[in-house]
Chains A and B, each alone.
Chain A
Amino acid sequence: MTADDPVLRVRLEAATLAELRSFTDEVDADLGCRAIATRSASGYAIDVHLPESRLESARGSRAATPVSMTVVENATATGLERQAEVAEGNRYAARGEVPRGLGSKE
């Protein structure tokens, strides 16, 4: 990751798993934890992460024809923005500060 070449989250969709796999075989993308494609309206979909500099070459790859590519977000920019939502200091430094969950106790 660099500021000049951010990583994009890109949604790939294709009619078949074989088409998706042909594409990801050719384009070395970050497929997340376990490379799980899920069913979508048009067949199967998977989100991958790809440096912006490689987006056009991925679109031009031999296996790209049956695969639709949609840029979902600039993941680098999102992540840097989210770092502002990480707590500073330590809210639980005092022994009596006990976390409370988000479920309703009833």
Chain B
Amino acid sequence: MAYLNVDEITSALQNLAAAYPATTELITCPHPTHEGRQTQVLRIGTRPASEVDGVLLLGGVHAREWVPPDALVLLAADLLEAHGKSKGLRYGEQRFSATDVQEILARLNLFVFACVNPDGRRHSQAGDPLWRKNRRQNNGGGDCVGVDLNRNFDFLWDHLARFAADSGVRTTADPCDKFTYRGPAAASEPETRNVVWVLDTYPRIRWHVDVHSAVPVILHSWGSDRNQTLDPGQNFLASAFDPVRGRPNDNAYREYITEDDLDLVTGLAGRMGEAVRAVRGDDYPVEQAYGLYPTSGASDDYAYSRHFANPAQGKVYGFTIECGHSFQPTWAEAEDVIREVGAGLTALCAAVTRLSPEPGQVPSPAAVSGTSPTSRRAPGEAETLA
């Protein structure tokens, strides 16, 4: 085996759709990339997209992280084959029964967007291996190429206006920056708009996992500041907090999340971590996405922010998995990381099938409350306001 190249990812998804017509739909995204590539999403499930909740899985947002697209294609292949043969799935010591697999495909739709940024992946695999961004030709010319897609989503995108000047938010307005250029506008990039389009077009999507590498770690909301659960007024929409947002170790501003949502996301992230550990003993700890610094414009925060910004939109819980220990492990090592990602994501899907309404039922916010989290909340996380 070897890493999938960009053409193979396209063909692999097409062939899976052809081989499993009753349980898949190949969805073509509307916005071609800067180099003219059309990306596709493989929907997996036995029910129409309007009847059951959805899980959106993203890979390849950052070009140099080679494992996630392969992991998502092979997870799709695993689930479809196991479902078709009425078999269970095993990754290392993590086992999922045949019933688990049947339930996942009957009660959910998985939207597998295996390679969001094929132009960047092509450049990383055939040119500069550490290339991270897409391939937009920026106005600066010369070497000023690319936008960091995971800083381009419409969540506190304008970091110069929306964060404290000393927050250290990890993005830049410099189009010549090699790593974290945010782009000329929020959702300026076709790759970003394709993800937004999927979320807009399939409003039953309730779960969003952006698979990156490497740390490893499993991240949950928020990435903009430390969490708090007491003051709904302290949230990303409130511009009064722009001068203080993102600073570490202060109480002037923290990002609001409800206690129920925090319990839910830490519990589900913990379940993913347990499944990963069962594969070969590696530890993917659970952390809030606010690490050493805040981030703006990330896909997981954007997904979860949508219902705050527009209450008419359904709530989408956002996660990021940073898989493995390096961007480009040997293929032999990559295979084990792929198993870990498969185990973690299958565990998430199995868990959320139990939270999802019966097929055809309208989703209710109460359907996701009152879960029993296997919380591994980090010390100091979600501290109450002083």
Residue numbers of A with Cβ under 8 A of B are 1, 7, 9, 17-18, 20-21, 24-25, 30-39, 46-47, 49, 73, 75-76, 78-80, 82-83, 85-88, 90-93, 95-106
Contacts and interface: CB of A to CB of B under 8 A. Distances in A.
21 contacts: A7-B130, A21-B293, A34-B291, A35-B170, A35-B291, A35-B293, A47-B214, A75-B129, A76-B130, A79-B129, A85-B2, A86-B5, A87-B8, A101-B78, A101-B79, A102-B74, A102-B339, A103-B89, A103-B91, A103-B342, A105-B85
Interface residues of B, number: 71
Given A17-B248, A95-B14, 15 more contacts: A1-B128, A20-B292, A32-B215, A33-B150, A34-B212, A35-B170, A37-B291, A38-B215, A47-B214, A78-B326, A79-B64, A90-B8, A100-B77, A102-B338, A103-B339
A92 B292 contact: no
B129 A80 contact: yes
Contacts of B327: 75, 79
A35 B162 CA distance: 19
Interface string B106-132: 000000000000000000111011100
B221 interface: no
A20 to B, nearest CB: 6
B287 A36 contact: yes
Nearest to B291: A36
B351 interface: no
B219 A34 contact: yes
Given A85-B2, A105-B78, A106-B88, A24 B292 contact: yes
A88 B129 CA distance: 16
B204 interface: no
A79 B81 contact: no
A63 to B, nearest CB: 13
A34 B295 contact: yes
Nearest to A78: B328
A100 B335 CA distance: 12
Interface in B3-52: 3-5, 7-8, 11-12, 14-16, 18-19
Interface of B: 2-5, 7-8, 11-12, 14-16, 18-19, 62, 64-66, 73-79, 81-82, 85, 87-91, 124-126, 128-130, 150, 168, 170, 178-179, 212, 214-215, 217, 219, 223, 248-249, 285, 287, 289, 291-293, 295, 298, 320, 322, 326-331, 335, 338-339, 342
A95 B178 CA distance: 39
Contacts of A17: 248, 292
A34 B298 contact: yes
Contacts of A101: 74-79, 81, 342
B246 to A, nearest CB: 12
A90 B125 CA distance: 14
Interface core residue of B7, B91, B128, B130 (most chain A CB under 10 Å)? B130
Nearest to B328: A82
B330 A31 contact: no
Contacts of A7: 130
Given A35-B170, A76-B130, A101-B74, A86 B125 contact: yes
B322 A103 contact: no
A102 B335 contact: yes
Contacts of A105: 78, 81-82, 85, 87-89
A26 B9 CA distance: 40
Contacts of A31: 170, 292-293
B23 to A, nearest CB: 13
A17 B379 CA distance: 13
Nearest to B91: A103
Contacts of A92: 8, 11-12, 14-15
B15 A97 contact: yes
A30 B250 CA distance: 25
A59 to B, nearest CB: 19
Given A86-B3, A92-B15, A102-B338, A79 B328 contact: yes
A10 B170 CA distance: 19
B292 A37 contact: yes
A90 B78 contact: no
